[in-house]
Structure 1
Amino acid sequence: MSEVAGCAQVRLGSPVGRAVITAAVLGSGMTLLDGTVVNVALRTIGRDLDASLAQLQWITNGYLLSLASLILLGGSLGDRFGRRRVFVIGTVWFAVASLACGLAPTPVVLIVARVLQGVGAALLTPGSLAMIQGTFHRDDRAQAIGSWSGLGSIAAALGPFVGGGLVQYASWRWIFLINLPVAVVAVVVAQRRVPDTRDPEAPDEFDVTGALLATLALGGTTYALIEWGGPVAPWAAVLAALAGLGFWWVERTSRHPMLELGIFADRNFSAANAMTLLVYAALGAVLFFLVLQLQTVGGYGPLRAGIATLPITLCMLFLAARGGALAARIGPRLPMTVGPLVMAGGTLLLLRAGPGVNYWTDVLPGLTVFGLGLALMVAPLTATVLASAPDEHAGIASGVNNAVARSGSLLAVAALPVAVGLSGAEYADPVAFDAAYRSAAMVCAALLAFGGALSWVTIRNPSGRG
């Protein structure tokens, strides 16, 4: 397909429109799948590779760290060189790193491979959404984003299900190797059917210093949280603080910043990203703790623990696009308020999951309520973020929101185990883990409730809606 600058006029029901959605969902779906699929396999990986709790956290957080740190740079590269082109490069990179993950012989090698996997995700993730924003007709974007978020979130929700089956009946290594054929299909569809879009005013220079400082800030914070109490943790916290200040200064003074701070002047953009941080912190922590709770305390096997999360998948499959359509009619404020509050209620219901857990009464109701809230919130949140930024900054806007979401999950998974008193090999101790799970669930419910309240106070509907 040829390259176009700015916004094309592709319609949702056209063959090209379907191809754009397909490629975007396949690519971003891989990254979302790998963000959740590993949780089901953590106990098996820990046993197979003799990994500690800190190493298991890094297997999860190493991926999130590089993804969150570099996703803004990935958005900038897409705006400059073509969103489809960078998307394809990131997809290939992700597939090669997935192969390295699948062949890793030690925890350290797996952690390094996961970091590299996150680099590929940082290239393809903003490109997947920016392709939609840059190619679809304005009248079709909200529905296209709803379809993308719904189908992509299904991949995230399918992670525990697919991962459980692979871990139980094959090997945990296949949760990474399965990405290879998916990547091939995504690249073929993108190369043959998707037009390339870019920002004609994007600068030739790139903010490598900003990317490095962002990585140091997030990496130092993550290390300090995971290794809290160790001799190096205070120094890591100091490094993170200095790097964070340096990042702000560089972005403020650079001629070509990785993050254009001016986009935060829009109230909806800033509010939506603040809510994203809270909600995705809770989302990442709930998935991390629940799957381990069902295995460690409830006695579930990997497959059964994965199947347990199926209600979230079904809610996203049938209702996410409807959530986007509803927000298009009444405005995003109400869905972005009610969605997190419903998710908080579902999280509290999941407190029933404990020793002797009964799936139908202790797990299914909570996950169903949680999934309903998620389906109501996801598409309006994404559409609000993109609608608050100019079309030429679609890549940066998408990158900011993705970075915030991944940072929320990263920090929650790093901080909550320490905050609730879980350390060492206690992730395999049913009594210790059960107590930690209950404390973590309460924290997550509070974060979700606060996110809903924040949306009600700060989000403004477009004129004439709501």
Structure 2
Amino acid sequence: MSAPRPPARVFRGNPIATLVAVCFGLFMVGLDATVVSIANPAIAADLGTSFTELQWITNVYLLGLAVFLILGGKIGDRFGRRRMYLIGVAAFAITSVAIGLIGSVEGVIFFRALQGASAALLMPQTLSLLRSTFPREKFGMAVGIWGGVSSVAIAAGPIVGGALVQVLGWQSIFYINAPIAVIGIVFAAFALAESTAERQEGRFDVLGVVLLALGLAALVIAIVQGEAWGWGSASTIGAFALAVVFLVVFVIVEARVRNPLLPLGLFRSPRFSIGGLAIGTNFFALLGVTFFLTLYLMNLRGIDGLVAGVMLLPLSGVSIVASPIGAIVVSRIGARWTMIIGLVAIAASFFALMTTTVDSPYLAMAAAFVVLSFGVGFTMTAGADSIVGSAPVQYAGVAGGVQSTMLQLGGALGTAVFSAIVSASVAGSALDLTETERGSLAQGILPEGTTGADTIVAQAAFLDGFHTALLTGAIVALVVAVLAAVLIRDQRRPAVEVVLEETVEGLAAHA
């Protein structure tokens, strides 16, 4: 008689099942990071958005992420990561469908904000659940798969978005989240075991959360609306003043409360501060240029969505290998020089893209895309190591939250600043344009009836603004590279696995 077989491991809480479950939410958020940019021209054409409104469709999602990521991690730690993950996935799907159904610019912007907040709730739980499930010796493997899934989703975004917009309309890029979420929720309900942080001491820094949210919102509003209101108008100056007041009060509060949302002592380390600045600059450049590359390809050059997505593949696809290679470089020469190399590469790619014309050969642009992708990957891993690696162990989660907040805020500001520069160039052109026509030209759309010499002037107005924005991004990257060279002294040489873990923890904003 054969010996009885040992009982099969319970499905709930199984590490592999947990990894598969969290990848559903991770894939949705990663896909939406790049899929929306390819749909912007179609959204603008269908809803008749102004240029400022089109910016808000991108920026309000990033703002929702930036404001709530740290809080999302803390809520999961206290009230249950499984519960918060499921709520986040469901909310992300519901808001995605609402974006496609609402039929108005104001509705799209409102639900994009809620979509960003939903992403901020689910993302921190993905790594928290893996950390609480996988044995320490296998956690690095789980982190690698986590990063791979995110990279594949980001790389697939432009192609998937281009195909869906071309065949089914822009709404379909949001509807696609619904079936992914349904399958993911059903699977996660059976696969995920509940977990919370071991310590539940202290109260939430509610006042800190409110002040930070108001400060960041006022800052982004001032930058995005500055061109429409006028940079010297009372509204713009008032918004900037409010941002300064809220953020200064936030710093005062954080210095005095017992359990601050953001321990200010972390910023005493040059590695931490410059690392955060590098991460913000990284996505200031990436999101700003991606926003306008899509408008350039689809509106100015008239390329359809699917082809434009394929053309952007060297930028998004190379990201799959750029960060792992960046981690290897950090382990060999340290974060300081890796960060400098990455920022210089970003600047070099922007200088190359400044030669772009209406009929530039694609191979020249593709080469610049590859350089930019490696620059972003190197800066991301070096910044992650500088931020998370320099923080005390007890603040590792908060440091990851700072990293991800800087990432989202940098992206929102990049889109806003690039847009303001292009809008100013269009407004200063020799063409006699109405306000609506200026907004359209800032999106790369030539005014109706434009012919002959006026066509050349209109194209030049858009491209001159784009080139100036690229120059601005390159200068910012070089300035931060100089700061890294001057202020960062310590050369920590972590293992490759550690750098990758720090990078993805910051992306998930585990708190």
1:448: which partner in 2?
477
Distance 2:396 2:134 in 1: 12
Deviates more, 1:136-145 or 1:252-261: 136-145
The alpha carbon displacement at 1:148 in A equals 3.3
2:431: which partner in 1?
none
Q: Which amino acid aligns with 1:461?
A: Q
When normalised by structure 2's length, the TM-score is 0.80
Q: Which runs of 5+ in 1 are unaligned?
A: 1-14
Distance 2:320 2:162 in 1: 20
SS of match in other structure, 2:439: coil
2:461: which partner in 1?
432
When normalised by structure 1's length, the TM-score is 0.87
- The structure-2 alpha-carbon separation of the partners of 1:128 and 1:352, relative to structure 1 and needing over 3 Å to count, comes to farther
Distance 1:55 1:42 in 2: 11
2:38: which partner in 1?
40
- The structure-2 alpha-carbon separation of the partners of 1:397 and 1:80, relative to structure 1 and needing over 3 Å to count, comes to farther
Q: Is the contact made by 1:323 and 1:380 (CA closer than 8 Å) also made in structure 2?
A: yes
Q: Does 1:417 align with 2:407?
A: no
1:125: which partner in 2?
123
1:203: which partner in 2?
201
Out of 273, 278, 292, the position equivalent to 2:276 is 273
The alpha carbon displacement at 1:117 in A equals 0.6
Distance 1:36 1:294 in 2: 15
Distance 1:22 1:357 in 2: 43
SS of match in other structure, 1:176: helix
Q: Is the contact made by 2:21 and 2:191 (CA closer than 8 Å) also made in structure 1?
A: no
Q: Which amino acid aligns with 2:440?
A: A
Distance 1:187 1:382 in 2: 30
Deviates more, 1:403-412 or 1:200-209: 200-209
Q: Does 1:214 align with 2:191?
A: no
The alpha carbon displacement at 1:138 in A equals 5.5
Distance 2:333 2:341 in 1: 13
2:262: which partner in 1?
259
The alpha carbon displacement at 1:410 in A equals 0.8
Q: How does 1:352-371 map to 2 (within 5 A)?
A: 352-360=355-363, 362-371=364-373
Q: Which amino acid aligns with 1:354?
A: T
Q: Does 1:74 align with 2:72?
A: yes
Q: Does 1:162 align with 2:155?
A: no
Q: How does 1:29-68 map to 2 (within 5 A)?
A: 29-68=27-66
Q: Does 1:461 align with 2:459?
A: no
Runs of 4+ residues deviating >6 angstroms: 463-466
Q: Is the contact made by 1:149 and 1:378 (CA closer than 8 Å) also made in structure 2?
A: no
Q: Which amino acid aligns with 2:297?
A: L
1:406: which partner in 2?
408
SS of match in other structure, 1:227: helix
SS of match in other structure, 2:318: helix
SS of match in other structure, 1:462: coil
Q: Alpha-carbon deviations, 1:391-427, whole Å to 9, x = none?
A: 5544422221111110011112122221341562322
Q: Which amino acid aligns with 1:433?
A: F
Q: Is the contact made by 1:272 and 1:459 (CA closer than 8 Å) also made in structure 2?
A: no
Q: Alpha-carbon deviations, 1:115-149, whole Å to 9, x = none?
A: 11111011122333444555556666666545534
SS of match in other structure, 2:218: helix
2:86: which partner in 1?
88
- The structure-2 alpha-carbon separation of the partners of 1:61 and 1:69, relative to structure 1 and needing over 3 Å to count, comes to same
The alpha carbon displacement at 1:110 in A equals 0.5
Q: Which amino acid aligns with 2:86?
A: V
- The structure-2 alpha-carbon separation of the partners of 1:31 and 1:454, relative to structure 1 and needing over 3 Å to count, comes to farther
Distance 1:62 1:274 in 2: 21
Q: Which amino acid aligns with 1:418?
A: A
SS of match in other structure, 1:205: coil
How many residues align structurally?
451
SS of match in other structure, 1:405: helix
Q: Is the contact made by 1:97 and 1:117 (CA closer than 8 Å) also made in structure 2?
A: yes
Q: Which amino acid aligns with 1:83?
A: R
- The structure-2 alpha-carbon separation of the partners of 1:17 and 1:180, relative to structure 1 and needing over 3 Å to count, comes to same
Identity of aligned residues (%): 33
- The structure-2 alpha-carbon separation of the partners of 1:465 and 1:318, relative to structure 1 and needing over 3 Å to count, comes to closer
Deviates more, 1:158-167 or 1:57-66: 158-167
Distance 2:473 2:239 in 1: 26
SS of match in other structure, 1:51: coil
- The structure-2 alpha-carbon separation of the partners of 1:48 and 1:21, relative to structure 1 and needing over 3 Å to count, comes to same
